[in-house]
Amino acid sequence: MTDAPPPPPTGPVRWDPAFAAKVLADMVRIRRMEERCAQLYGQQKIRGFLHLYIGEEAVAAGALAALDPADNLVATYREHGHALVRGQSMRSIMAEMYGRQEGCARGRGGSMHLFDRATRLFGGNAIVGGGLPIAVGLALADRMQQRRALSACFFGDGAVAEGAFHESMNLAALWKLPVLFCCENNQYAMGTAIARHQAQTDLCVKASAYGMPAVRVDGMDVVAVHEATQGAAEMVRDGGGPMFVEFRTYRFRVHSMFDPELYRAKDEVEAWRTRGPIHGFTERLKAQGLLTEAQFLAIDAAAQAEVDDAVAFAESGTWEPVESLGRDLLGEPGAA
């Protein structure tokens, strides 16, 4: 059981229409890509675990639009959306999920382990909480090298129960490091509702225990997500120390691909679906005259075309030769 979804936002969107269209397009791109991923999983083109972000798109699309190219990004195993919005090509993501050597990690990581040096994505991480200490260290490296950048670390509400969360929050606050802790609270740690895994369900209170400013945002509202992240990011970059942002969101699909969803009621899922982030944002923009139906259809068509292209790319990809299995286990001496 979770709380009922909050009422839909109604306030005006004070964004440049082109920026609004870009953020909307990013959400649609994630949705269309992942819908296809689910189909491809059924066709056994994608194997292993596949954790879909569907329902949570406003968080990645809104929050990552507040990052600079120099910023670092550390993500979880539900990170397809983050990789895509951050600028990694859909081709590279899809090829990785196919296990092709044209994928970002040469097919070694798959869905849960997207890496991209160019966009400073330091990995999807399948260890819950595993990315948080890494983000602290990346921020420490930036500070010691006098770079003005932040390290954005995404993690779920489940990670809040891990020791790594508390150790990382303490270290970042103690050393006033530029870490942006982005908690995607989808209200379930796999199948365990937050009230069943947290003694204190107000996650912002945990940040205050470390003297860290915290803000809670409606994660289904991309406008609120972006504006809150923008404000937090500026503060962090200005040397104000780390910040904690909690995005209240909801996963519409199953946890991974083998999940009978015994732990939550259909009514609850339906109630949250009515707060779908793409639909809500689209309607709001239309009501304000910032978007026409034709423009929306064009965004959707472009996303579908991008997905078709990415799938074709992955289909025509090649397997890494078995002879190079041991490649990149260790680096060349002197070439770290």
Partner 1 sequence: MPRMTYREALRQGLREALAADPRTFLMGEDVGAYGGTYAVSKGLLEEFGAERVRDTPLSELGFVGAGVGAALGGMRPIVEVMTVNFSLLALDAIVNTAALYRHMSGGQFGVPLVIRMATGAGRQVAAQHSHSFEGWYAHVPGLRIVAPATVEDARGMLAPALADPDPVLLFEHAQLYSLEEDVPEPCVVDLSRAKVRRPGSQVTLVTYGGSLPKTLAAAQRLAETGIDAEVIDLRVLRPLDEATVLASVRKTRRVVVVDEGWRSGSLAAEVIARIAEQGFYDLDAPPARVCSEEVPIPYARHLEEAALPQPERIVAAARALLGATD
Closest CB 309 distance from partner 1, rounded Å: 22
Closest CB 53 distance from partner 1, rounded Å: 21
Q: Which is nearer to partner 1, 142 or 218 (CB)?
A: 142
Applying CB under 8 A, does 132 fall inside the site for partner 1?
Answer: yes
Applying CB under 8 A, the span of 77-85, 169-177, 251-259, 266-274 interacting with partner 1 comes to 169-177
Applying CB under 8 A, does 11 fall inside the site for partner 1?
Answer: no
Applying CB under 8 A, does 138 fall inside the site for partner 1?
Answer: yes
Applying CB under 8 A, does 328 fall inside the site for partner 1?
Answer: yes
In three-state form (DSSP H/G/I as H, E/B as E, the rest C), the secondary structure along the chain is: CCCCCCCCCCCCCCCCHHHHHHHHHHHHHHHHHHHHHHHHHHCCCCCCCCCCCCCCHHHHHHHHCCCCCCCEEECCCCCHHHHHHHCCCHHHHHHHHHCCCCCCCCCCCHHHCCCECCCCECCCCCCCCCHHHHHHHHHHHHHHCCCCCCEEEEEEHHHHHCHHHHHHHHHHHHCCCCEEEEEEECCEECCEEHHHHCCCCCHHHHHHCCCCCEEEEECCCHHHHHHHHHHHHHHHHHHHCCEEEEEECCCCCCCCCCCCCCCCCHHHHHHHHCCCHHHHHHHHHHHCCCCCHHHHHHHHHHHHHHHHHHHHHHHCCCCCCHHHCCCCCCCCCCCC
Applying CB under 8 A, does 156 fall inside the site for partner 1?
Answer: no
Applying CB under 8 A, the span of 9-17, 57-65, 133-141, 248-256 interacting with partner 1 comes to 133-141
290 close to 20: Cβ distance less than 8 angstroms: yes
What is the phi/psi pair of residue 72, to 5°?
-100, 150
Applying CB under 8 A, does 148 fall inside the site for partner 1?
Answer: no
End-to-end CA, the chain: 48
Applying CB under 8 A, does 321 fall inside the site for partner 1?
Answer: no
Applying CB under 8 A, does 68 fall inside the site for partner 1?
Answer: no
Applying CB under 8 A, does 4 fall inside the site for partner 1?
Answer: no
Kindly state the number of chain residues that form the binding site for partner 1, as judged by CB under 8 A: 48
Applying CB under 8 A, does 51 fall inside the site for partner 1?
Answer: no
Residue 274: burial class (beta carbons within 10 Å; 0-12, 13-18, 19+): exposed
- Determine which residue in the list 130, 191, 213, 231 makes contact with partner 1, applying CB under 8 A: 130
Q: Which is nearer to partner 1, 38 or 141 (CB)?
A: 141
Applying CB under 8 A, does 327 fall inside the site for partner 1?
Answer: yes
Closest CB 324 distance from partner 1, rounded Å: 10
Closest CB 25 distance from partner 1, rounded Å: 27
Applying CB under 8 A, does 134 fall inside the site for partner 1?
Answer: yes
Applying CB under 8 A, does 209 fall inside the site for partner 1?
Answer: no
Rounded Cα distance between 28 and 34, Å, is 10
Applying CB under 8 A, does 241 fall inside the site for partner 1?
Answer: no
Tokens coding 260: 């009978």
Closest CB 132 distance from partner 1, rounded Å: 7
Applying CB under 8 A, does 331 fall inside the site for partner 1?
Answer: yes
Residue type, 295: Q
**Residues in 104-123 at the binding interface with partner 1, rule: CB under 8 A:** 104-109, 113, 115-117, 122-123
Applying CB under 8 A, does 151 fall inside the site for partner 1?
Answer: yes
Interface ranges with partner 1 (CB under 8 A): 72, 103-109, 113, 115-117, 122-123, 125, 127, 130, 132-142, 144-145, 151, 163-164, 167-168, 170-171, 174, 327-336
